[in-house]
Structure 1
Amino acid sequence: MSIRTSLGFSRRHLAQAVGAALALGLTPSWSAASTDPWPTQTLRLVVGFPAGSSPDLTARALAEPLAKALGQNVIVENKVGAGGNIAADFVAKATDGHTLGLMINGNMTIARILNPKVPYDPLKDLTPISLIGKAPLVLTVPASEPGAAPGQTAAEWLSQARKAGDKLSYASPGVGTVAHLGMELLKTKAGIAPVHVPYPGNPQIITAMLGGQVQLALLPPAMSAAQVRGGKLRAIGTSSSGRSPVAPEVPSLAEIGVQDYQLEIWNAVTAPASMPAAVASRLSAVLSEIVRAPEMRARLFQQGWQVVGSSPEGLRNRIQADTQSLGAIIRSQKIETN
């Protein structure tokens, strides 16, 4: 998967982002009773996955231009565990008025459906700010598994995987993540039967595939790109209905015979429910300005994301739609936490 883009965020577009923030009057109060301008201190952008993971890379790409637009430092904090739910709960319970989260869709949609004991309610305890980017997942395997041969097609690989049954294992970043739900649905749609092995994040999954501990995974497009280009991993197909702009050389799974299968991942910036609507709206506008600037759009595209930059209302609508669709997968596949 080769994606050619330019990197960096130019001074000109940083200046545009700052100007947009000023034009929007970005001096709201976090508390309705307070007259202090916001933000008044360093902001934390919390990520639920390890350094080097896809959410972490997106958060770190946003941190510097967001800091310049708001006039305060933005630091990225990794709070790893429970498929990102530890970080989501931390953000939901934050009271300092300066904590944001870079969340994946699972944390914002079906966390409570999957496990009623999750200590936060994504629909009630988190404020949607902006949908940053979306992408399909890519079914990725070691280049030599199972029974790979020079010139072997993706359809031929799928045939081998069906014969292998539960002798194969697949990795995900945790029970209840979209990659986990997506693979359980794929097992039904594609007639394969790999065993689930959860890992802390996608970097660890790639290491495990390269080491032969697991044989397949649904990964964000950019996570395995270097290893695919180097011939160590292989991209079998994407979870999109057709070929995706972020990986146009990879067939969709529908092209190789997996019917009625479509799934997207996305990431978004959120805040505690205590954030007033006016602050959320203005912060959303600044983030949208930042991610839609050409250089940042290219940088996020290189990470495997189609930029969105939505309003809070747009993100809320996506949350509601995915809560229904992912919830349906949980119920149909009888997925539950232990």
Structure 2
Amino acid sequence: MQRRTFILAAATAGLAAPLIARAKDWPSQPIKLVVGFPGGSTPDMVARTLSEPLSKALGVPVIVENKSGASGNIAAEYVAKATDGVTFGIVINGNLTSSQMLYPNLPYDPFKDFSYLSLLTTAPLILVAPASEPSGTAFFDLARKEGDKWNYGSVGIGSVSHLGMELLKADVPGLDPLQIPYNGGNPAVVTALIGGQVQMALMPPGTALPQVKAGKLKAIGVTSAQESDLAPGIPSLAKAGVKDFNLEVWTALVGPASLPAAVQKKVSDIVIAALKEPAIRQKLLVQGWQAVGTTPQEMRVRVEEEAKLLGGIIKSQHIRLQ
């Protein structure tokens, strides 16, 4: 896929000095780190892991605030419309890449209403199958043969487990399992896989690996371009014959678009430095994440590319949510 670099407009010389002065004085009150998922969720754990180094660097408390609902879109809207200068958000892929195409009345614009600060963490998914199925290229040979006689499980329409499988189907000629969405989330999909109601599914490592180690499921491959420390010993899908497939889940730090440029840089620099710390990287790894830490420009490129990729599959498959 061709990469395009999006260059952000630079502040004029006349505005730079006031913004820098404001960044030196900022913040004068506690920071709010808003998460669109409940306490104990993986995005929440990322927020709480970063709150300590942020607080230490900024000299004020960092308060994690959970605003659950609508797959994180309620919290994303709250951050986009914040005007207090101290509200930030931890978002996931869908809030910036697919929600605008899935929800016709999304109350924010993911490309215009946020300041992108840094991609924080990534994790691959694992393509899993019942333990009785073959591995590697033999699995895909059998899947092609079975066509739409096979099913795949997802945690819901528009979820990454749904969109990821549709992307995989587009990349593997002849692969055509039908989706069965489960309201019970990943545990329900695991039960369906073990019971043979579905023949494949994309799952996070934290859910898939215990079942694979117990011999109840078989791991076909990870969806990242290369093998992952989060799923040691499991090959990439490329080794199973699926070339150039790369899909990860991630978290990112955003602020409202109105956030002064110098404040954006200050926060971004702190977070990037924190994500290089071995102790923080290890803590995130235990939580099921690989620490990344990108510049705002690098994050924007990633979001633009992924939105284009997911948008293509959403449009071609006529996927919509209310």
Which residue does the alignment assign to 1:179?
161
Whether 1:291 and 2:251 are equivalent positions in the alignment is no
Whether 1:305 and 2:285 are equivalent positions in the alignment is no
Match of 1:256 among 230, 240, 257: 240
Task: Report the alpha carbon displacement of residue 269 of structure 1 after superposing the two structures with TM.
Answer: 0.5
Indicate how the Cα distance of structure 1 residues 238 and 97 shifts in structure 2: closer, same or farther if over 3 A, else same: same
Whether 1:208 and 2:191 are equivalent positions in the alignment is no
Which residue type is aligned with residue 298 of structure 1? Q
* 1:185/1:333 contact within 8 Å kept: no
Which residue type is aligned with residue 186 of structure 2? I
Unaligned ranges ≥5, structure 2 = 1-17
**What are the equivalent positions in structure 2 for 1:132-281 lying under 5 Å apart?**
132-141=120-129, 145=130, 148-149=131-132, 152-155=134-137, 157-158=139-140, 163=146, 165=148, 168-172=151-155, 174-190=156-172, 191-197=175-181, 199=183, 205-212=185-192, 215=198, 216-281=200-265
Task: Report the alpha carbon displacement of residue 255 of structure 1 after superposing the two structures with TM.
Answer: 2.3
Aligned mates of 1:225, 1:56 — CA distance in 2:
22
* 1:31/1:275 contact within 8 Å kept: no
Deviations 1:17-36 (A, max 9, x none): xxxxxxxxxxxxx9999799
Indicate how the Cα distance of structure 1 residues 137 and 211 shifts in structure 2: closer, same or farther if over 3 A, else same: closer
Aligned mates of 2:73, 2:125 — CA distance in 1:
20
3-state SS of 1:209 partner = helix
Structure 1 range deviating more: 107-116 or 214-223: 214-223
Which residue does the alignment assign to 2:76?
88
Structure 1 range deviating more: 272-281 or 224-233: 224-233
Task: Report the alpha carbon displacement of residue 208 of structure 1 after superposing the two structures with TM.
Answer: 1.6
* 1:281/1:311 contact within 8 Å kept: no
Which residue does the alignment assign to 1:5?
none
Aligned mates of 2:28, 2:106 — CA distance in 1:
31
Indicate how the Cα distance of structure 1 residues 61 and 217 shifts in structure 2: closer, same or farther if over 3 A, else same: farther
* 2:19/2:262 contact within 8 Å kept: no
**Percent of residue pairs identical:** 45
3-state SS of 1:335 partner = coil
Task: Report the alpha carbon displacement of residue 160 of structure 1 after superposing the two structures with TM.
Answer: 6.0
**What are the equivalent positions in structure 2 for 1:315-334 lying under 5 Å apart?**
315-334=299-318
Task: Report the alpha carbon displacement of residue 267 of structure 1 after superposing the two structures with TM.
Answer: 1.5
Whether 1:127 and 2:88 are equivalent positions in the alignment is no
Which residue type is aligned with residue 113 of structure 1? M
3-state SS of 1:292 partner = coil
3-state SS of 1:80 partner = coil
Deviations 1:295-336 (A, max 9, x none): 112222333433221122221222222222222222233322
Task: Report the alpha carbon displacement of residue 78 of structure 1 after superposing the two structures with TM.
Answer: 2.9
* 2:225/2:238 contact within 8 Å kept: yes
Unaligned ranges ≥5, structure 1 = 1-29
Indicate how the Cα distance of structure 1 residues 32 and 289 shifts in structure 2: closer, same or farther if over 3 A, else same: closer
3-state SS of 2:250 partner = strand
Match of 2:104 among 104, 111, 116: 116
Indicate how the Cα distance of structure 1 residues 41 and 208 shifts in structure 2: closer, same or farther if over 3 A, else same: farther
Aligned mates of 1:240, 1:165 — CA distance in 2:
26
Which residue does the alignment assign to 2:10?
none
Task: Report the alpha carbon displacement of residue 118 of structure 1 after superposing the two structures with TM.
Answer: 0.6
Alpha-carbon RMSD across the aligned residues, in angstroms, is 3.3
Aligned residues: 300
* 1:187/1:194 contact within 8 Å kept: no
Task: Report the alpha carbon displacement of residue 185 of structure 1 after superposing the two structures with TM.
Answer: 1.7
Which residue type is aligned with residue 54 of structure 2? L
Aligned mates of 1:169, 1:321 — CA distance in 2:
26
Aligned mates of 1:230, 1:74 — CA distance in 2:
40
Deviations 1:53-87 (A, max 9, x none): 33222222222222222222223333233232222
Aligned mates of 2:276, 2:20 — CA distance in 1:
30
* 2:117/2:264 contact within 8 Å kept: yes
* 1:222/1:302 contact within 8 Å kept: no
Match of 1:57 among 39, 45, 48: 45
Which residue does the alignment assign to 1:15?
none
Calculate the TM-score normalised by the size of structure 1: 0.75
Which residue does the alignment assign to 1:37?
25
Indicate how the Cα distance of structure 1 residues 120 and 69 shifts in structure 2: closer, same or farther if over 3 A, else same: same
Aligned mates of 2:147, 2:182 — CA distance in 1:
20
* 1:170/1:196 contact within 8 Å kept: yes
